Structure 1
Amino acid sequence: MAKEIAKENPVIDALKKLKEEEAELMSKLKPVQEAIGALEKIVDKSVKKVKPAKENGDNSTTEELALEAAGEAQ
């Protein structure tokens, strides 16, 4: 009798559906997270290349340097 109730319980059905949707979303999210990580690495490398210019007397702020580096990466 408990199995009959479990099969007809809308809460359990909704939970199963949500878990399936979660798995689908996670599979879509992974490539996006990887792309974000790759872009962050590119920006970090660009900022590191620009920092020595600041140390040599350039008065630009770090934010300006990051924006310039991001613009060059595009």
Structure 2
Amino acid sequence: MPCSADPCQWDTDGASEEQREVAASKCWPCPAITQCGAFAGANREVHGIWAGHDRSKLQGRKAAKTKRTEETK
């Protein structure tokens, strides 16, 4: 698995957009991508690249959606 060789590569803190995209692209051929995504979801990971997705971006979208929902109430 690519992430086991260099776990720091999947840390998004301080990473450029290009670095994030390169790391995420390395996930797609991984045989553990499904389990990786399930683990990240079950553990509510909010940082790093998990199963080809930047979890910090997912968290940002959820926060924005929550804010819009609260504003319409």
TM-score in terms of structure 2 length: 0.32
Which of the two has greater helix per residue?
A: 1
Which of the two has greater strand per residue?
A: 2
TM-score in terms of structure 1 length: 0.31
